[in-house]
Amino acid sequence: MALAPQPSRERMVLLLIAVVFGLVFTIGMAVTAATMWFSVSLPYPVRLLVGVTLQVIVMTYWLMPYLTRRLGRWLYPSQPTDERDLRNDCTSGIRDTSRKK
C-alpha cells in the first residue's frame, strides 16, 4: 500500500505561522470593530471565542486547502514515483563522455 506524500515539516510550519498570524490579526480586528460598530459590549473571552471560531473555520475549509494547492510544489519535496524516475534522478548529474564529437 502506497503512503500519501507528506509535506515538508519546516515549510508547513512557515506557512502555518504566516496564516495564523494573518488570521489572528485580521479577524481579531474585525471582531473588535464589529462590537464597537454595533455598540455591543462583549467580554473579552466571548470576543476571543468568536474570533477563534471564525479563524478555525476559515483556515480549515477555505484558506489551507487553497494554499496547499497553490504552494504544493514548494510544500511537497519531489520524490521519484517509480524505479525509472529514481534511476533518472541518480544519473542526471553524470555526463556521457563516451560519445565522439
- Tell me how far apart the alpha carbons of residues 80 and 45 are, in angstroms, rounded to a whole number: 49
pTM beyond 0.75, yes or no: no
Note the pLDDT of residue 5. Answer: 84
Check pLDDT > 80 for residue 27: yes
Note the pLDDT of residue 38. Answer: 86
Number of other residues whose CB lies within 10 A of the CB of residue 15: 18
Note the pLDDT of residue 101. Answer: 52
Contacts of 8 (CB under 8 A, 6+ apart): 75, 76, 77
Number of other residues whose CB lies within 10 A of the CB of residue 64: 15
- Tell me how far apart the alpha carbons of residues 83 and 86 are, in angstroms, rounded to a whole number: 5
49-87: pLDDT as tens digits: 999 999 999 999 999 999 999 999 999 987 655 555 555
Note the pLDDT of residue 3. Answer: 82
